[in-house]
Chain A
Amino acid sequence: MINPFTFVLLGFLIICAIAACFCKNFLTSVIIFMSYSVVMSILWMVLESPDLAITEAAVGAGVTSVLFFVTLKKIHAMNDKKNVDNKAPMDDKEKDRSADM
């Protein structure tokens, strides 16, 4: 009844769900969540419901992840400890560049 392609996708789905929970880095976790949504939208396609596939791809993989990224940036969880030290000079460079342009 279920073809091997679906089995592979279901395996991906489970791996992504577990990895998103157990990942220590928030950014990686959100990206894994995105990939979960993409796999899920392909699965909806396989289950012959393209309406849901389009919605899942747009909302699950697109808008929700972007909102997660913004929140992570607001709570300063996007940067590793290494990058925090280099943050100030990078910002200055950016300022210079934007001023030049």
Chain B
Amino acid sequence: MSRVRSDYEKTLWRKIVRFVNGENDLFDEQSGFNIEAEELDARKRKLFFEEAEWNKKKVQITELIEERSEESEKKAVRLYERFYRLFAVITCVAIIAILLATVVNLPDYGDASNPVNNVVSRKYIEDGIEDTGAVNIVAGMILDYRAFDTLGESHVLFIAAVCVMILLKIDPDSEKGKRFISLENDRAYEPKNDPILVWTTKILVPVIITYGVYIILNGHLSPGGGFSGGAIIGAGLILYLNAFGFKKTEKFFTQKTFSVVSVSALLFYSVSKTYAFFTGANGIHSFISKGTPGDIISAGLILPLNICVGAVVACTMYSFYGMFRKGGL
């Protein structure tokens, strides 16, 4: 009787059969499908744990890296702030030093040999009334001799107003504009109905605007001119707007008013003074009579130019306020 072998699977013949079937290596008993289920489970578990540990390590490593990068960022920020302060102090001290040196080297106050008292200013003072017809020599200078500078100034103001519009204007039809208007509506409490403000405005605004008009119209006779008068009118309009709200001011001042008034004023200025720019300020004799110095209608083009500058400045001041307040006119 042949005895029953318990290790039947491990006989050489079976091994060869399995090898021919391509199931495992010839003499390697541990590999391949020869693994029992428990062993497989154990291996799986081991693998799983290894993976978990690996993941943990990964997380730790990434955290470490992040911490280190944060630390390095903090360091960089701290370094930047230190340098920033240092450079700010250095720049400030340098500018102060330059300015103080300039002030020390300025010519003495009221000295007769100052560069201010040269031929040009003597010419302006002596021939100013004859050349320009303006009693106020300053107006004659800025609107006749040096009208080009004033043209540039008014254009700078206009461009500033346009830039503020580009930055702050809100389209009320867009979604963002609707949200803004519902969130921060300044007009919710308008009109304010504050008796002190309303009555002060009722008394003051006509006086302020009349004073501004007076300064503009008398620009060639008395101190002042387009810029100061326009600023005063703009301030008066702002006061009126504060007291009575946008609904009342929209009756006479809208976006269209702003563009029409500013652009037409600048156009008139440019057209009426272009000849002087081409001829070097004093070339062609103007056909507009100078009038009697001291009259309101005198001094040729200075009065209309003053009105133009005043209109531009008043519009600009008011539009600044409107833009800052609610993002529109």
Q: Which residues on A are within 8 Å of B, measured CB to CB?
A: 1-2, 50-51, 53-55, 58-59, 62-63, 66-67, 70-71, 74, 91, 94-95, 97-98, 101
Shortest beta-carbon distance from B313 to chain A in Å: 9
Q: Does B227 have its Cβ within 8 Å of any Cβ on chain A?
A: yes
29 A-B contacts (beta carbon < 8 Å):
A1-B110, A2-B109, A50-B223, A50-B224, A51-B138, A51-B223, A51-B224, A51-B225, A51-B228, A54-B223, A54-B224, A54-B228, A54-B232, A55-B228, A55-B231, A58-B228, A58-B235, A62-B231, A63-B231, A63-B235, A63-B238, A67-B320, A67-B321, A70-B324, A74-B324, A97-B193, A98-B191, A98-B192, A101-B193
Q: In residues 82-125 of chain B, which contact A (Cβ within 8 Å)?
A: 109-110
Task: Mark contacts of B233-257 with chain A using CB atoms, 8 A cut-off: 1 yes-contact digit, 0 otherwise.
Answer: 0110010000000000000000000
Chain B nearest CB from A36 CB (Å) reads 17
Within 8 A of A (CB), among B41-84: none
By the criterion CB–CB under 8 Å, are B232 and A58 in contact?
yes
Residues of A within 8 A of B189 (CB): 91, 94-95, 98
Known: A62-B231, A63-B321, A74-B324. A54 touches B215 (CB 8 A): yes
Distance of A2 Cα from B110 Cα, bound (Å): 11
Nearest-neighbor residue (CB-CB) of A100 within chain B: B193
Task: Please give the distance in Å from B266's CB to the nearest CB on chain A.
Answer: 20
Q: Are the C-beta atoms of A63 and B138 separated by less than 8 Å? A: no
Shortest Cβ distance from B108 into A: residue: A1
Q: Which residue of A lies closest to B109 (CB)?
A: A1
User: Is B202 part of the contact surface with A, judged by Cβ < 8 Å?
Assistant: no
Interface: B325 (CB within 8 A):
yes
Q: How far is the CA of A54 from the CA of B228 in the complex (A)?
A: 6
- In the assembled complex, B308 has its CB within 8 A of some CB on chain A: no
| Chain A interface SS verdict (over half) | helix
Interface size on B, residues (CB 8 A): 24
The verdict on B317 contacting chain A, using a C-beta distance below 8 Å, is yes
Report how far A33 CA is from B324 CA in the complex, Å.
19
Complex CA distance for A74 and B235, rounded to whole angstroms? 20
> In the assembled complex, which residues on chain A have CB atoms less than 8 Å from the CB atom of B325?
70
Other than the known A1-B109, A63-B320, A66-B235, what 20 A-B pairs have Cβ atoms closer than 8 Å?
A1-B110, A50-B223, A51-B225, A53-B223, A54-B215, A54-B223, A54-B232, A55-B231, A58-B228, A58-B231, A63-B234, A63-B317, A66-B321, A70-B321, A71-B324, A74-B184, A95-B189, A98-B189, A98-B191, A98-B193
Interface centre among B110, B184, B225, B325 (most CB of A within 10 A): B325
- Nearest A-chain residue to B225, judged by Cβ: A51
Interfacial chain A residues near B225, Cβ < 8 Å: 51
Contact with A along B207-234 (1 / 0, CB 8 A): 0000000010000000111011001101
Contacts of A97 in B (CB 8 A): 193
Residues from chain A with a CB closer than 8 A to the CB of B317 are: 63
**Residue from the list B191, B193, B231 in contact with A59, Cβ < 8 A:** B231
Residue in A53, A66, A71, A95 whose beta carbon sits within 8 Å of that of B238 in the complex: A66
Q: How far is the CA of A101 from the CA of B320 in the complex (A)?
A: 30
Q: Using a CB-CB cutoff of 8 Å, which residues 10-63 of chain B contact chain A?
A: none
